[in-house]
Chains A and B, each alone.
Chain A
Amino acid sequence: MNAKIALAWIARIMTLAAIIGAFVPPAPRAPLGTPQMVQTQHPHVCVHTRLIDEVETWKIQKTLIDVRAMGAPTIVEFFPWAYLEPSSGQYDWTNADRIVDHARNQGIRIIARMGFVPSWVQSNQSSQTATFNTLPTDRYDEFAAFAAVFAARYAGIIDQIIIWNEPNLAFEWGYQSVDAASYVELLRIVYPAVKALSPTTQILAAGLAPTLEPVGSPNGLDDLLYLQAMYQHGARADFDALAVHTYGFTQPADSAPAADQLNFRRVELLRAIMVAHGDADKQVFITESGWNDSPRWVNAVTPAERITYTLDAFQIASDWDWLETLCIWMFRTPAPTYGYPDFFTLVSVDFQRKPIYMALQAYARGFESSP
């Protein structure tokens, strides 16, 4: 009798669960779908994305669909070493693969930024002093080995890799004193390692942070001085092209460049240093640029100025035959920072397109007007 009652209850509960389950929406899926192509009239339009931290694949897909719809055929994406090689020689390509697969399907090429040191590399470092940007010099070869494996795996869809990020800032250099010679040494070890496994992959020297920090500053070093120091330490043979970060801050796009000014056309001064050191044939990839429209940040402009200056910047850049891409920092973040960095984005965390997105889309796609 008791067994019969129990079975009856089990049957009732299962029926109820089935009814409730019928009303619960299924988890969003993101099948690749039909391969797409980017329609654009300005192929140098590019955006920096932040997809690697996404948990849900549909958000990666949605981001890349919106990038394509904007008319940008190229993205810059961060591929942290710590995520992809969580223990020595053990790779986990899951996250990188889904980004690459969806980008390829949308017809978008990727420039990969490399960095972010795994904890197993820092095992001998004091937890008091190491950050994810601290790479001991005696572990450069391990980073090079990783970069080479990465480049070989994704050759054809990722043909440019950027070695490190803003090494002229102390915190990007693991809160150590910045050291152009040491960075050049890193390039010198990475370059042949990557070329050995993936000869067509281009090595981009890191985008330097636009800054006026003088020699001896604990915070970093002026990007112009740092690039000159890189050449003095023989960097020329160890990179194929230069990544550049150039922000407009509060100045219009056409403000004249000057060594003591931070503005969009500062890239021309970096280019002049390249030419002076015999690198006129190398291309420049602006991998971070743009204006910020936070109402609070001292280096921001209004949203209307941001739109005007950004479009002007693309117009100016279209005359630079040495420029490969102009990438806007940044398309979207996976989560809000609740600070002024949120005002660099083109779409909100919940995928609302900002007026700057609409303006860039109109420019890239050749639409007659933007909202």
Chain B
Amino acid sequence: MKKCLFSLWVWVVAAAMVPVSFERPPAMPSIALALPRGELRIGIDPSLPPFAFIVDEQLQGFDVDFGNVLGQRLSTPVRFVLLGYDGVYDALYTDQVDLVIASLIYDSSRLDRVLYTPPYFDAGLVMVTLSYSEIANVRDIGGQRLGYMLGSSGHAEADRWARRVLPFDRRSYLSEPDALDGLTSGEADAAFVDAVAARLYARQHPPNTFRMTPMTQLPYVIAIRGQNAPLAVLITATLHDMHSDGSLDVLLARWL
């Protein structure tokens, strides 16, 4: 009898575990639920090239292409709403837009009203060296010549590293491209610039001319109206697909 009861208990436990063992993908909300207006209203700040800018009254940039691809993948027409930086969150709160793509960073103080996707780009600082350089990481800059733009984040980062590594020779430039010119001309052995400047500069040179070592993180995310969880699920899934199939990288490479 005891043996029989034990067998029954084993089967009951096994049966209870079956649904747990096979993780099912979460059900996708319907587009109609996420976007009842039948369109995707994207808030965008057109003052940030190469992400969003206006040329001859035409809105252009990565954010624009990215928004259009999101719309295509969701089979939904897209409408861009131009916003100034100061007003992007208020536009989201007041339902002027469904989401914002504007080089935004995750902000924990807004989580009561905003949902964020995982990052789509990291705009943090990078250390740029020539690809054959012996400087493999930031700790190797001791005794070397370091370029950066006067007053930039790279300048501030150089100040921080000056307290951590052996003394290095500082080369201050008036712009980030100037700092990178200093690297290619041999005036500097490495440069601290942001990832956007580094990628834009590298585009103008043969592939594999430079090596970029990430130093800080500045992950750009999409902000979605907090009351629209279905849209957050859809956009996050679409972003995941774009990461997986490489289309996000292709899109980024088009602009930077």
Contact = CB atoms under 8 A, between A and B. Distances in A.
Interface of A: 128-131, 133, 169-171, 175, 219, 293, 295-299, 302-304, 306-307, 337-341, 348, 352, 354-356
A187 to B, nearest CB: 23
Interface string B40-54: 000000011100010
A17 B205 CA distance: 60
B94 A130 contact: yes
Interface stretch (B26-34, B132-140, B144-152): B144-152
A295 B96 CA distance: 29
B159 A352 contact: yes
Given A131-B94, A303-B149, A296 B159 contact: no
Contacts of B175: 295, 302
Interface stretch (B16-24, B83-91, B237-245): B83-91
B129 interface: no
A131 B86 CA distance: 13
A185 B82 CA distance: 30
B169 interface: no
Interface string B71-106: 000000000001011110011011110000001110
A302 B48 contact: no
B218 interface: yes
Contacts, number: 76
Contacts of B82: 219
- Size category of the B interface is 20 to 34
B149 A298 contact: no
A238 B90 CA distance: 29
B197 interface: yes
A13 B227 CA distance: 49
B85 A341 contact: yes
A296 B87 contact: no
A299 B175 CA distance: 15
B200 to A, nearest CB: 10
A175 B149 contact: no
Contact of A131 (B53, B93, B149): B93
Which 8 pairs show the lowest CB-CB distances between chains A and B?
A303-B151, A171-B87, A338-B105, A298-B47, A171-B90, A175-B94, A355-B151, A131-B90
Contacts of A175: 90-91, 94, 96
A352 B90 contact: no
Contacts of B63: none
A118 B252 CA distance: 42
A302 B47 contact: no
B151 A356 contact: yes
B189 interface: no
B197 A352 contact: no
B14 interface: no
Given A302-B174, A307-B151, A355-B150, 8 more contacts: A129-B94, A133-B90, A171-B90, A219-B82, A295-B175, A298-B47, A303-B174, A352-B159
28 contacts: A131-B90, A131-B94, A170-B87, A171-B86, A171-B90, A175-B90, A175-B91, A175-B96, A219-B82, A295-B175, A295-B176, A295-B197, A296-B103, A296-B196, A298-B53, A299-B47, A302-B175, A303-B152, A303-B174, A304-B174, A307-B151, A337-B105, A338-B105, A339-B85, A339-B103, A339-B105, A352-B159, A355-B150
A306 B151 contact: yes
Nearest to A307: B151
Interface string B197-217: 100000000000000000000
A298 B150 CA distance: 18
A295 B91 contact: no
A128 B151 CA distance: 41
B104 to A, nearest CB: 7
A348 to B, nearest CB: 6
Nearest to B154: A295
Nearest to A169: B87
A302 B172 CA distance: 13
Contacts of A352: 156, 159
A303 B156 CA distance: 13
B149 A171 contact: no
B64 to A, nearest CB: 15
Contacts of B149: 295, 302-303
A337 B148 CA distance: 22
Contacts of A298: 47-49, 53
A290 to B, nearest CB: 13
Nearest to A53: B109
A275 B96 CA distance: 39
Contacts of B96: 175
A111 B82 CA distance: 33
A293 B156 contact: no
A72 B95 CA distance: 41
Contacts of A133: 90
Interface in B162-199: 174-176, 194, 196-197
B85 A295 contact: no
Contacts of A339: 85, 103-105
Contacts of B93: 131
Contacts of A169: 84, 87
Contacts of B194: 295-296
Contacts of A128: 94-95
B90 A303 contact: no
A339 B153 CA distance: 12
A298 B61 CA distance: 13
A295 B104 CA distance: 16
B63 to A, nearest CB: 12
Contacts of A304: 150-151, 174
